[in-house]
A = this chain, B = another copy of it.
Amino acid sequence: MANRKRGRQSFFLEDPPVITAWASVAGKKEAEGPLGHTFDVKNRDAYFGQKTWEQAEKHMQQQALKKLASKAGMGQKEFDLVFSGDLLNQCIGSSFTLRNTGIPHLGLYGACSTMAQSLLLASMAVGGGFAQKVVAMTSSHFASSERQYRFPLGYGGQRTPTAQWTVTGSGAALVCPEGSGPKITGCTIGTVTDLGIKDANNMGAAMAPAAYATIRAHFDDMKTAPEDFDLIVTGDLGQVGKEMLLELARLDGVSLGGKLTDCGTLVFDNTKQDVHAGGSGCGCSAITLCGYLLDQLNTGKLKKILFCGTGALLSPTSTQQGLPIPGVCHGVCITGGR
């Protein structure tokens, strides 16, 4: 067996797993944004026909899984394994989605980095021969997040300029040993990075150092550089965090300028949709990847991207106890499919 480890944090996939299908489910505001035309399922009802927002989030994941199976031309029962997680306490969005489906499930917590983390683990499971039809999935919901992390929506609190808008959506991708579609060629596992940011309304700032650490580690471990990519896409730094990431790179002598974009700045039109610093949440990078980005990779409009899921590992308890916000970022290198 060839050793696939590369450097401190990365691994290379000798037989790159293929993303053979992907599906996205989005809420009303997301459907009205610039990427609206790329989502498979759009729903105007914030409750998605359910009684609670938590159950709405479960329903979004169920819809994403169902749509994924139909786009892949198989039954859900054929999935070998689902890696998924979400922002809800105890990840109930994911576990209630999988209950009694008979599909093997491994639950994750990586905050908003979960789409990248689940893809990374799916590529390990497939690349190592442990499973063959592996789903990477996550979701987030504006209303369940606001209630859990900040204030009840009915309170009508004023949002700060650095605040981001949690995306209501779910994305799912199917990773297989072979087939047609974009390929995962290598991954970089993040380290938990904390520079002491304590403002729970400025998560872009909390996550930017982790994002830079992972991007830099990917370049070093894989002996690559920004010019080798069409795009370097972070998960949900938003406008503020994206500027900070550019600055951190510049101070380190690395120019990301022409290559960097952020799902949090793509998913909403910040000038018209009143989302302040941009989109956030596990669903932000999930619906951007499992729609726009994978579509572009599939048609060859994008040839190679570094998809960097970013997560702020805070809890309401840690914030109330005055602790800073650790960040994490996992990188997945994806190449065009044709």
By a beta-carbon cutoff of 8 Å, the part of chain A in contact with chain B is 1-5, 8-9, 11, 14-15, 51-52, 54-55, 80-81, 85, 87-92, 94-96, 98-111, 117, 120-121, 124-125, 127-132, 189-194, 313-318, 321, 323, 326, 328, 330
Contacts and interface: CB of A to CB of B under 8 A. Distances in A.
B1 A129 contact: yes
B105 A108 contact: no
A199 B330 CA distance: 38
Contact of A15 (B1, B9, B121, B125): B1
Contact of A5 (B55, B85, B106, B129): B129
Query: Closest 8 A-B residue pairs measured CB to CB?
Result: A128-B128, A90-B315, A95-B313, A104-B189, A99-B326, A99-B192, A109-B109, A98-B192
Given A194-B99, A315-B88, A326-B95, A321 B54 contact: yes
A315 B89 contact: yes
Contact of A90 (B95, B109, B124): B109
Q: Within the oligomer, what is the number of copies of this chain?
A: 2
B318 A92 contact: yes
Contacts of A316: 89
B111 A328 contact: no
Contacts of A103: 191
Contacts of A8: 80, 104
A129 B3 contact: yes
B101 A192 contact: yes
A107 B317 CA distance: 18
A92 B313 contact: yes
Given A52-B321, A99-B193, A194-B100, A90 B4 contact: no
Nearest to A107: B109
Contacts of A107: 108-110, 117, 313, 328
Contacts of A96: 313, 318, 323, 326
A270 to B, nearest CB: 27
A1 to B, nearest CB: 5
A100 B4 contact: no
A89 B117 CA distance: 19
A293 B87 CA distance: 34
B89 A317 contact: yes
B11 A104 contact: no
A191 B105 contact: yes
A81 B190 CA distance: 9
A133 to B, nearest CB: 10
Given A2-B129, A90-B111, 13 more contacts: A3-B132, A4-B128, A4-B129, A89-B89, A89-B317, A90-B314, A92-B314, A96-B313, A99-B192, A104-B189, A106-B117, A106-B121, A108-B108
